[in-house]
Structure 1
Amino acid sequence: MSLSAAPDLAVSRHGWVQALATVLAGLIAMLVVAALGLWAAGAADLPDGAFPRVVAATVVTAVGGSVKFAGNAGALAETRAGLTVMPLSVTLTGALVVAAGFLRPLRHRAVAGLPELAGWAGRIAVLWLLALTALALSARRTFAVSLGEGRLSDLGDLFGASSPRVGFETDVPVTLPFGLLWLAGVLVLALLVSPRAPLPPRLLRFQESVRPAAYAMVVLLLAYVVLGVVVALVVAVTRGHAAQTLAVMLLGLPNLVWPVFTIGLGATWDGRVEGPFGLPMPQMLDRVLRTPDLSTLNLSTLSEQDGRVWWLVVVDAVLLLAVAFLMASRSPARMRAWRHGLHMAVALALTVLAVCLLGRIDAHYGLSLFGIGDLGGGLSGELFLRPRLWGALGLALLWGLVTGFVGALLASRTRHHGELENPKD
């Protein structure tokens, strides 16, 4: 048996065990992060032993699954609820763990055939679907909502709505295909980003242009998460609210820092906060969005609350130049600077597109009697946050072109002797 065939045989013999370990590691990591985040947010006090069900539902939404809400408040009453948000801290944790498990058996390879990669990914996909199905079926529960005391409680007793109930369950037919799509995206991105991951021979010619840019964008997003963790820890130490800060870090830190990154580029988000809902963001952002009408979230509106917001532009510029330099340093020395700029522009636009799609938030809850809404007072509310997509993509292209070109010029000055420097035109 040749040495080159040994890895193939190892994967074929033990592929199912390794695939199972990868799937379990990813799910366990997400469940732990979700459980700790929900515990810090106070969800451990939910009645009827619902905490594990809510943890399962959080992981389902983290991989693109859908959770349906339903309510029953008596014959003459109605409850309405809806939620569209991905807890991106949980999503990021699962993606990193699953990607590491997927790449581990391939780390000593230079080239891998497409059938082999497809077979290895297929094993993971089959076990992932089985595990996700079990998790989705367990993510369901119904809660009783207290109306408190006073006029609202009296109306509830009168019309048989004294114990309104709202529940959730996973939409399994929607969750499974989206969960599989999430897994496919993670595996493909892992192959694109890792410099040591093997590719089929026909795709090797694309690695010089795709891999450095993909790696740079992942580093950029992770750098913003690290900065967010540092800021959150400083806030927790200096201003208190440690439990709330921990909940934000473990559930939705990327939901905060990645849209803030696009705002630093000049992008605008539209949103509104009404009722008891709140965003996992500083109070300054909540004040901007808590208005009677549609609010805009950008550098201009935020600077009216705090002029230090303009430092976001500086942070974006520094980090983008850093990752552009990193991208150029990992690219062939013969590549021209303008091509680096083009690659950076495309990669940054795709990254901003992903942030805009994943960072959307839409939540609402209401209680009505006789079809008359807003009787819930503090029980009714609405929250949404949506980007102005085309403007954000245009700004990303512009920033990418400039920083990619400048980063390539900086990298050309650090080439080792004997390498061909990048032409400057």
Structure 2
Amino acid sequence: MSWALVGMAGTAALGLHLLGADAAGSLRSMTAALVVLAVGGSVTPTGNVSAFGLEGAAARTAVDIAPLGVGLVGALLLGFFFLRSLRSAGREIPGTELAVRAVSVLVLFLVTLGGLAWAGHDVITIDGAGLGLDRVPGNDLPGGIADRLPGELGGLLPDRISDLVDAKATVGFSVDTGTSLVSGAAWAAGVLAIALLASRGTPLPRGWDAVHRVLRPASSALVAVLVMAVAAGLAAAGYAAAGDERPGRVLGAALLGAPNGVWLALPLGLFVPWQGRATGALVEVLPSPVDALLSGGDERPLSVGRLAELDGRVWLLVVAVLVMMLYAGVLAAVRTPREDLSRPGYAGQCAVALGTVTGLGLPLLVWWAGVSADASVSVLGFDAIGAGLVLSGNVPLALLLGVGWGAAAGAAGALLACAAGAEGSRAARLALPDGEGDRTYPDLAYVPGPYRPSPSYRPGGAADGTNPYLRPVREVGDAGRVGPGTPGRAGAAAPPSPEEGPPPPGVPGRGRK
């Protein structure tokens, strides 16, 4: 559990440093706040601006965005160490023991998260004198610009510059501890549930055989494909950073937000509709042609069709996502044991499994990848600076499309695996019936059916001369050769025949006199 939070903090700190955010405030506080945001916590920015002699100007800011790059690192580490502690439990684990282990992990996680919530507070002060305006001669603009301004504006401007020198702006942020702890508990519980569902080698309580055989192969396939897509996004970001003037900013943004962009594109490629708007400086962070479609103050629909009207290459996203889903179907099929099902029945089973898992996972991706960020500085009711980005997907439609696409991919993948003869070839030991798959050598001794003895470890037969016990016994000759075809000493007595019985006690080789 501690390694998960260490990994999250390290990822957040590295991303903020690459972005240059540590130049504006405390890296420790920003890292703690970012980790809290990654697990679904709440960070409330606050501000107070005093400028031009006006008091009471407030900074209104609302942020609801999770850096999924930080959350993904924590989820992978938390799931890995939790599952590793369960592998020694055997084929089954009691439900009470599993619950106790999970609750203990949640308690420790929340205790540590509470410490991060306490540390995630900071205030940044911007001093007008630090901008160098106090060094303007006579508080006038250079080049006598004020003298050339019309009317009273030229006379008022120098005085206002002197007021700007005394301007103070404090912008801070604080973590809502109660909300963050509740969201963190839900996040950690969800991570443990997904890890248990996707891990094919971890024991479960008795009676969960259907989960081993049906749901776990499909879940592990979908999770593997999602992680692979994020890795591809990071690779693309590395390629883009190599030709950028500021590669650190590109890598920092990818480290923190690559899953945000990838997991937004996947539902979009499966035709899940989105709604969004972007204003101010946040328009620049959107890729083309999304920035052109969402720029403006009103909310607009975001879909593959509308993006393709601006750039026809967007259809390649649909092709890539469909190939990814087909790969998930094939991967699920090779991990699902076929048992005694016919080919259509096996394809139907894989379709139901992957359709169920995708129907639950796609709405979760849409909810996680949603963005809501608005910031403005208001002076006497007038917005001087404004920036905003809102993206939200249709969760109910994502559920329906997830079931449909998952079922189609599961059936197609199963048929391809059957055509290649690879169905069930990578099934985990726990997905097989009791006793089957517990031992891996030799295979013939442990297949279903009557008992079959294991093959010998050395070649058999008398022809190769490797096993003397399989050679016929020869009779004693005049030269004193005895035994099963092996040379003996001269004069050695032959072994008694079955009719004579064992030799009497006395000198070896001589009968009793």
The alignment's TM-score, normalised by the length of structure 1, stands at 0.85
> Which runs of 5 or more structure 1 residues have no equivalent in the other structure?
1-22, 420-425
**1-structure distance, mates of 2:394, 2:284:** 19
Equivalent of 1:246 in 228, 233, 251: 251
Structure with the largest fraction of helix: 1
Q: Aligned Cα RMSD in Å?
A: 2.6
Aligned to 2:351: 341
AA matched with 1:36 = L
How far is 1:299 from its partner? 1.3
Residue of structure 2 in register with 1:102 after alignment: 82
Give the partner amino acid of 1:62. Answer: A
Question: Offset at 1:369?
Answer: 2.3
Q: Secondary structure at the match of 2:2?
A: helix
Once residues 234 and 77 of structure 2 are traced to their aligned partners in structure 1, the CA distance between those partners, rounded to angstroms, is: 19
Say if 2:393 is the partner of 1:413: no
8 A Cα contact 1:192 1:214, kept in partner: yes
Which segments of 5 or more consecutive residues in structure 2 lack a partner in the other structure?
A: 134-140, 142-155, 426-513
Matched residue type, 1:118 = A
- 8 Å contact kept, 2:124–2:171: yes
Secondary structure at 2:281's aligned position in 1?
coil
SS for the counterpart of 1:294 is strand
Name 2:333's counterpart in structure 1.
Answer: 328
Q: In structure 2, how many angstroms separate the alpha carbons of the residues matched to 1:142 and 1:306? A: 43
1:43-122 matches, within 5 Å, as 43-47=21-25, 50-74=26-50, 75-108=55-88, 109-122=90-103
Shift of 1:205: 3.1
CA deviation map 1:55-94 (0-9, x unaligned): 1100011111111122222433121011001100000000
Paired with 1:305 and 1:131, the residues of 2 have a C-alpha distance of: 47
1:314–1:153: structure 2 CA closer, same or farther, 3 Å change rule? Answer: farther
Aligned twin of 1:369: 379
Conserved 8 A contact 1:76-1:159:
no
Aligned residue type for 2:92: V
Q: Which amino acid aligns with 1:411?
A: A
The code of the aligned residue for 1:127 comes to L
Structure with bigger RCO (C-alpha 8 Å, 6+ apart): 1
Corresponding residue for 1:393? 399
The equivalent of 1:294 in structure 2 is 299
Q: 1:326 to 1:162 in 2, by over 3 A?
A: same
Distance 1:141 1:295 in 2: 35
Q: CA deviation at 1:153?
A: 11
Identity of counterpart residues, as a percentage? 33
> Counterpart in 2 of 1:34?
12
**Aligned counterparts of 2:94 and 2:297: Cα–Cα separation in 1:** 58
Query: After alignment, is 201-210 or 356-365 more displaced?
Result: 201-210
Aligned length: 391
Structure 1 residues 121-159: Cα deviation after superposition (integer angstroms, max 9, x where no partner): 222222111111111100001122467779999779869
- Tell me how far apart the structure 2 counterparts of residues 121 and 283 of structure 1 sit (CA, whole Å): 44
1:112·1:201 contact (CA, 8 Å) conserved in 2?
A: yes
Deviations 1:160-216 (A, max 9, x none): 992232211110011111111111111111111111111011323332221112112
Q: The residue matched to 1:112 in structure 2 has which SS? A: coil
- The one-letter amino acid of 1:80's match is R
**Aligned counterpart in structure 2 of residue 316 of structure 1, from 318, 321, 332:** 321
Judged with a 3 Å threshold, the aligned counterparts in structure 2 of structure 1 residues 402 and 328 are, in CA distance, closer, same or farther, namely same
Q: Which segment drifts farther, 345-354 or 237-246?
A: 237-246
How far, CA to CA, are the matches of 2:161 and 2:208 in structure 1? 65
Cα deviation, residue 358, structure 1? 0.5
Where 1:64 maps in the other structure, the secondary structure is coil
Paired residues of 1:356 and 1:389 also in contact (CA < 8 A): yes
Select the residue among 164, 168, 181 that pairs with 1:163.
168
Q: Write the distance in 1 (CA, Å) between the matches of 2:334 and 2:2.
A: 36
Deviates most, 186-195 or 138-147: 138-147
- Going from structure 1 to structure 2, the CA distance change for 1:265 and 1:416 (only over 3 Å counts) comes to closer
Counterpart residue type for residue 322 of structure 1: Y
Counterpart selection for 2:214 from 195, 209, 212: 209
What SS does the aligned partner of 1:363 have?
Answer: strand
- Aligned partners of 1:179 and 1:53: how far apart in 2? 18
> 1:137: which partner in 2?
118
Return the alpha-carbon distance in structure 1 between the equivalents of residues 305 and 422 of structure 2: 44
- Deviation readout 1:372-419 (Å, 9 max, x if unpaired): 131x2xx32211111123333333222222211111111222336999
Residue 85 of structure 1 contacts residue 360 of structure 1 at CA under 8 Å; is this kept in 2?
Answer: yes
* Structure 2 residue matching 1:201: 3-state secondary structure: coil
Looking at structure 1, the residues matched to 411 and 274 of structure 2 have their Cα atoms a distance apart, in angstroms, of 28
Question: Contact 1:248–1:280 (CA<8 Å) still a contact in 2?
Answer: no
Cα distance in 1, alignment partners of residues 266 and 202 from structure 2: 29
- Conserved 8 A contact 1:156-1:162: no
- Shift of the 76–220 alpha-carbon distance from structure 1 to 2, 3 Å rule, reads same
Instruction: Answer with 105-114 or 209-218: which moved more.
Output: 105-114
Contact 2:354–2:410 (CA under 8 A) maintained in structure 1: yes
Alignment check: 8 A CA contact 1:37 1:248 kept:
yes
CA separation of 1:281 and 1:366: change in aligned 2, threshold 3 A = closer
Partner of residue 15, structure 1: none
Q: Write out per-residue CA displacement over residues 328-385 of structure 1, whole angstroms, 9 at most, x where no aligned residue.
A: 2211213531232222222112111111111111111112223x131x2xx3221111
Alpha-carbon spacing, 1:306–1:188, altered in 2? closer, same or farther (3 Å) = same
Letter in 1 for 2:78: V
Q: What residue in structure 1 maps to residue 464 of structure 2?
A: none
From the superposition, tell whether residues 281 and 225 of structure 1 become closer, same or farther in structure 2 (CA, over 3 Å). farther
Question: What is the distance in 1 between the residues matched to 2:158 and 2:377?
Answer: 12
Question: Which SS does the other structure have where 1:164 is aligned?
Answer: strand
Structure 1 residue ranges, 4+ long, deviating more than 6 angstroms after superposition: 146-161, 416-419
Indicate yes or no: 2:367 matched with 1:357: yes
